[in-house]
Amino acid sequence: MPVNAFGQMIGEPLPGWTARPLPPRSAMEGRFCRVEPLDAARHAAQLHEAFAEASPESWTYLPDYMGPHTTPAAWRTWLESAQAADDPLWHAIMDAGTGRAVGIGCYLRIDARSGSIEVGGLLYSRHLQKTPAATEAMYLMMRRAFDELGYRRYEWKCDHLNAPSRAAALRLGFTFEGIFRQHMVYRGRSRDSDWFSILDGEWPRLKARFEQWLKPENFDTHGKQRTGLATFRPA
């Protein structure tokens, strides 16, 4: 551990470090999905259709402003506001087979100076849940943050009571860091938040694991995985 002139322990130096670029408003292409910047004019009707049969509990752990929206007009009103923001930077998740929006997500709390970025606002319709596209979308967003933009830290936060989100973070390779008590208030409730992260030094191993899982031979003719993501453990 390095020390300064006063004998105090200090963090490891980062010679040549500079602030990282902000995420661009461009699409990320995969085999099962395309993650593209949100466009209210294009995506509102498609998202309304995708979530038409969703139960209200789908929004339990999401901010109030995310819905539920019950009409195309309501979706468009929110999406127009969302697409104008730079942080969060919202994206639609498009099914590669149908070319239609089946979910949304965003980069948020973007700290370019320190190289930290969070993924969140994830809302998956039944057409996206538990599909290869759902995992691939997360891989594409990680790959942009680490490989394209050079961020050092990639975060995932969720309500401590949101067991599916906690399980998803661990499956994707995030490390649990702890609980922030009374972290926020939303939907009139107090929230304790679980914090997870992936660091740049951990990314090469996780990237290899995702890419092994995404190989065409790992899926049958119906798109069903032959081997689960957790099974792949590259050196």
Answer yes or no: is pLDDT of 229 > 60.
yes
**For residue 14, is it within any domain?**
no
Does residue 195 carry a pLDDT above 80?
A: yes
Instruction: Report the pLDDT value the prediction gives residue 161, as an integer from 0 to 100.
Output: 98
Share of the chain above pLDDT 90, in %: 91
Return the CATH number at 137. 3.40.630.30
- How large a percentage of the chain has pLDDT more than 70? 99
- Residue 167 pLDDT more than 90? yes
Does 19 map to a domain? no
Write down the pLDDT at residue 232.
82
So what's the pLDDT on residue 104? Answer: 98
| HSE-up (13 A, CA, CB side) for residue 40 | 14
Residue 27 identity (one-letter amino acid): A
| pLDDT > 60? residue 117 | yes
Domain extent at residue 79: 28-231
- Residue 213: predicted pLDDT: 96
In Å, what is the CA distance from 160 to each residue of 62, 97, 103?
Answer: 13, 35, 23
Residue 230 has pLDDT above 90, yes or no: no
Has residue 9 been placed in a domain? Answer: no
Number of domains in the chain: 1
Other Cβ atoms closer than 10 A to 136: 22
Residue 8 lies in a domain: no
Selection from 140, 127, 58 nearest residue 99 by Cα: 127
Position 2 in a domain: no
Q: Is residue 59 part of a domain?
A: yes
Three-state SS for 123?
A: strand
Q: 210 pLDDT exceeds 70?
A: yes
The answer to whether position 115 is within a domain reads: yes
pLDDT bin (cut points 50, 70, 90) of residue 234 is low
**pLDDT confidence band for 17 (50 / 70 / 90):** very high
User: In the prediction, which pLDDT does 30 show?
Assistant: 98
Mean pLDDT of 91-119: 98
Structure tokens given for 171: 């499956």
22 located within any domain: no
Q: How confident is the model at residue 235 (pLDDT cuts 50, 70, 90)?
A: low
Best mean pLDDT range from 3-7, 68-72, 222-226: 68-72
For residue 213, which of 134, 156, 148, 154 has the smallest C-alpha distance?
Answer: 134
